[in-house]
Structure 1
Amino acid sequence: MVHGTHNALEDSRNSDILISINDKLYPRKEAKISVFDSGYLVGDGVWEAFRLHSGVLIFLSDHLSRLWQSAATVGMKLPFTKEELTSKIWHTLKANDMSDGVHVRVMVTRGIKKTPSQDPRLTISGPNVVIIPEYKTASMTSKDKGISLFTSTIRRGSPDYLDPRLNCHSKLHEVQALIQAIEAGADEALMLDIHGFVATCNATNFFIVKNNEVWTSTGKYCMNGITRGKVIDLCKANGISCYEKDFSLFDVYGADEAFVTGTFGGLTPVIKIDGKTIGEGKYGDMTRRLSKIYEALIEKIILNE
């Protein structure tokens, strides 16, 4: 089994799920899209991931806002409202009789191309919308054991050519970073910004703990993580000093704790970076405290729905 923040327990129910493609449901093995799709041809698409807990799509409004921001950034006109997309998601979930422990991936591409090309004017259809719901429960092994990171030579891009906050299908540079980490024997990749400061990981946001203070990057060169934002807010609400700032590997190697955040795994401890043990090399007290506060927030949202 792959070890990392996206390590999920095997669930046989996923073999029979129905996947929505432009409002039509298909069995998993029959879910296909054209090779002329702009997402397949040139990575021209945006996406969002949601978690379904106890019948509630957690942080739904935040995720929808990020999807609409991403679409606007790439000049993609979405021919439906947020409420209509939400209905499409619920239609897919209900068709699968899903209510808990589900990860939903929503992908929107510009549409079908007349011929292989970057040119958006050669798109001959409306956007393609794919909704993939899967039963996914994060493996507690990753959380209890912690993960290791390797600092990649692949940098997070500058906002003037591909804004790192954009949740788009073009993820090749992050894949390259992850491959470097795997080849170095680590679980995932830590990525620096164009100035050499710590930015993020290839698929999650990165935090360190120093002297009971929580540090994360400025946010200029990292994915605009929903969980990241919630953790920052929860720190402030619970009297925990939290700073969005520039810091380097010098600070990271001397940290007391480190952890990453993401929609799927919540908070996951980092025990080793570039072969160096972080702090005591275990699930730290601050990370545990924040994880419990974050889980309590989700429970509160469920109870209020």
Structure 2
Amino acid sequence: MAQSVHEFHDDPRNADIRIWINGRLLPRAEATVSVFDSGFVLGDGVWEGLRVVGGQPVFLDEHLDRLFEGARAIALDIGLDRRGLEAAIRETLAANDMHDGVHLRLMVTRGPKRTPYQDPRASAGPATIVIIPEHKQAKPELVARGLKLFTVHVRRGYPDVQDPRWNSHSKLNCITACIQATQAGADEALMLDPHGFVATCNSTHFFIVRRGEVWTSTGDYCLHGVTRANVLRACAEEDITAREKNFTLTDVYSAEEAFCTGTFAGLVAVREVDGRVIGDGKPGPMVARLQALYRGLVERDVAVRAGERLA
């Protein structure tokens, strides 16, 4: 049975989490926003997903860089600076006594509207900021097995339509891709760019391994992925040849290995694409090596952030 890479085993502790909404910590059942909120009415907002390891939000600087970049691009005033958002995240984690095995969703919308209309000038108040923390980790059996992908007809669009680098609330492009992949019995959708080259997946980034080299797309038609960037960083540090380039499905079908990256699950091998088995259908040596290198980057980031707080 197909499963999303974001599948997890339910944790009963999540029933009692407290959610941060504009400075208030509310029980899950009471954590609501207005039906006039821009995020609900229009999908007008930006968001980030973060993992928490050793009590530290991992790669927080990179995630906040992307959040503020997206907010500036759509002329959204978040209303808090970086220090304020970090303080809100830490307040949320402390209120829930969370340290490890946590996934956190930070969402910012343009706030409530005077009337349900798209013009930002119809906004009636400041931005809505929501922080949802959950005890949640990727299913280990799915990570061990690897993913099955299906190439969908839905393409990543041009930046003059909706810049694919934005981590916006408006995700219908990716949702329709996800629906098609699910109906095809796959775990994730592989999406092409407008020119027919491989771009990304509906909720993760995509890599292949060919002749010892790691390939991923140019990045022109995909989100600026934090995990993607860290995999490329790990390759550079270890003298592993990594290329951001155009490549086609023909290159994918004959790859020795393939994998997806994302904040939630890290690196997960791909075992099959469009009915073609990749390699021997099992996670390969390059994936295992990069998983270890990525864990090392996480540990370094946690140590640095913990040291900064003690200083």
TM range (shorter): over 0.9
Shift of 1:2: 6.6
Mapped to 1, the partners of 2:302 and 2:39 lie a distance apart of: 34
1:47 aligned partner, one-letter code: W
Equivalent residue pairs, number = 305
In the other structure, the counterpart of 1:237 is 237
Q: Deviations over 1:157-182 (max 9, x none)?
A: 10111111100000011000010001
In the other structure, the counterpart of 1:92 is 92
Mapped to 1, the partners of 2:154 and 2:29 lie a distance apart of: 35
In the other structure, the counterpart of 1:181 is 181
In the other structure, the counterpart of 2:222 is 222
3-state SS of 1:132 partner = strand
Q: Following superposition of structure 1 onto structure 2, how do residues 18-167 of structure 1 map, counting pairs within 5 Å?
A: 18-167=18-167
Mapped to 2, the partners of 1:2 and 1:83 lie a distance apart of: 40
- What percent identity do the matched residue pairs reach? 52
3-state SS of 1:258 partner = strand
Mapped to 2, the partners of 1:255 and 1:153 lie a distance apart of: 22
Mapped to 1, the partners of 2:107 and 2:299 lie a distance apart of: 27
3-state SS of 1:270 partner = strand
Q: Deviations over 1:10-41 (max 9, x none)?
A: 21100000011111111111111111001111
3-state SS of 1:114 partner = coil
Q: Following superposition of structure 1 onto structure 2, how do residues 240-251 of structure 1 map, counting pairs within 5 Å?
A: 240-251=240-251
Mapped to 2, the partners of 1:271 and 1:257 lie a distance apart of: 8
CA contact (8 A) 2:150 2:189 kept: yes
Q: Deviations over 1:99-123 (max 9, x none)?
A: 1111110100001011110011110
**TM-score, normalised on structure 1?**
0.98
3-state SS of 1:161 partner = helix
2:95 aligned partner, one-letter code: A
Q: Deviations over 1:173-200 (max 9, x none)?
A: 1000010001011111000000000000
Q: Deviations over 1:247-302 (max 9, x none)?
A: 00010001000000000100000000111111111111100100011112212222
In the other structure, the counterpart of 2:270 is 270
- Any gaps of 5 or more consecutive residues in structure 2? 307-311
Mapped to 2, the partners of 1:244 and 1:188 lie a distance apart of: 21
Mapped to 2, the partners of 1:99 and 1:178 lie a distance apart of: 31
CA contact (8 A) 2:111 2:125 kept: yes
1:82 aligned partner, one-letter code: R
- Any gaps of 5 or more consecutive residues in structure 1? none
CA RMSD of aligned residues (A): 1.0
Q: Deviations over 1:72-111 (max 9, x none)?
A: 0111122211001110111111111111111110100001
Structure 1 segments (4+ residues) deviating >6 Å: none
Query: Which moved further from structure 2: 25-34 or 254-263?
Result: 25-34
